[in-house]
DNA sequence: ATGAATGCAAATAGTTTGCACCTAA
DNA sequence: TTAGGTGCAAACTATTTGCATTCAT
């Protein structure tokens, strides 16, 4: 389960291969990003980053998160609330999402049969499958267990 | 296959029930929206509308498309290009989307087994399924058939 | 008459970009 | 030394909102 290379090492490798430069900001942002949780908005990452290095600006965080995606270290998600969310990539693992529209809890799921049918569909339409997005929206059945259901 | 009520009639019924008002704009926008195609951006709808009634403003189109969604006449889609797209609702029909990332062609698909598994997943997590989004991205296998593959 | 709808312009939110300065290689 | 990176502020894009005016009921 332990990756062959740490995320920091994978970032370094990518940066080197692309002829880019290693910077303090990039490593700080990666560390904060990995530590802060999952499905984070840019704003959330920015907050975590600035807790450590207040001088790091929002533009850098935007640029760096995109770099992480290119480097295969993160995935960008869009759950329809108008802001991008980022999630650390765990190699070889794939999952889709289930979102409670009341409390915004995000569950992850994996359903090989769905993946298989999906591949068939792409095939049938003459499309080379590159990626997909599959999200299920609903509400927690037991509201008592749902931490943030609407108050009113 | 012919709906029991025309879209215009369904809109009128919704407007009446909600105590809203019938306006020339709403009926013009609905007509243009239905005639102009599918998976249209607001800008595209606006163009179609203004071809008929140049005085109708963008804000009205935004507001009216949301009204159509509330009335069950349209679906809002988000294919990750940062702008909402609208599609006429055909009652009782449901489909998901397959998008060519080169030519932006949008195919529709329906896969009951996927729907079924999806319902199971929601169940398993204690979520009452309300809606979902399932999109498959890839490129046309035969570029010659793909009307807009990148030139460079 | 009166409350809703419209059209405009201004405001917003998230994100991107231009540019002068900084820094890793 | 010198390309690439950073931080700030300004620009951008899609969308929403405030408000005076118009219109359906």
**Residue burial B55-87, b: 16+ Cβ < 10 Å; e: rest:** ebeeebbeebbebbeebebbbebbbeeeebbbb
- With both helix axes pointing from N to C terminus, report the angle between B24-36 and B42-52 in degrees, rounded to the nearest 10: 120
Q: What share of chain B is helix, strand, coil (3-state, %, to 5)?
A: 40, 25, 35
Interface of A with B in 90-149 (CB under 8 A): 98, 100-101, 107, 109, 111, 113-114, 117-118, 121-122, 125-142, 145
pTM: 0.84
Name beta bridge partners: A99: A106, A137
Residue B145 DSSP code: G
* Chain centroid offset of residue A101 CA: 19
Tens of pLDDT, residues B73-86: 999 999 888 899 99
Minimum CA–CA partner of A82 in chain B: B82
pLDDT in tens, chain A (152 residues): 555 689 999 999 999 999 999 999 999 999 999 999 999 999 999 999 999 999 999 999 999 999 999 999 999 999 888 899 999 998 778 999 998 887 778 899 999 999 999 999 999 999 999 999 999 999 888 776 676 555 43
Using CB atoms, pick whichever of A98, A113, A117 lies closest to residue B122: A98
- The kind and range of the H/E element at A74 are strand A74-78
Which tokens is B39 given? 């998976």
Look at B122 and A135 and tell me if their CB atoms are within 8 Å: no
Strands A127-140 and A96-100, bridge-based pairing:
parallel
- Judge whether residue A26 contacts strand D, using its CB and a 7 Å cut-off: yes
State the nucleotide closest to B54 in CA–C1' terms.
C7
């Amino acid at each position: 389960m332990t990756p062959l290379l740490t995320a920091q090492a994978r970032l370094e490798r990518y940066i080197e291969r692309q002829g880019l430069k290693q910077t303090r900001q990039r490593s700080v942002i990666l560390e904060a990003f990995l530590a802060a949780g999952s499905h984070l908005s840019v704003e959330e990452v920015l907050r975590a980053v600035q807790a450590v290095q207040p001088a790091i600006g929002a533009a850098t965080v935007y640029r760096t998160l995109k770099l992480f995606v290119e480097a295969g270290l993160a995935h960008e998600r869009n759950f329809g609330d108008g802001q991008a969310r980022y999630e650390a990539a765990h190699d070889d693992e794939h999952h889709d999402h289930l979102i409670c529209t009341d409390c915004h809890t995000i569950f992850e799921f994996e359903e090989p049969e769905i993946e298989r049918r999906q591949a068939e569909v792409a095939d049938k339409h003459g499309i080379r499958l590159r990626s997909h997005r599959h999200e299920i929206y609903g509400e927690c059945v037991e509201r008592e267990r749902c931490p943030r259901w609407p108050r009113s």
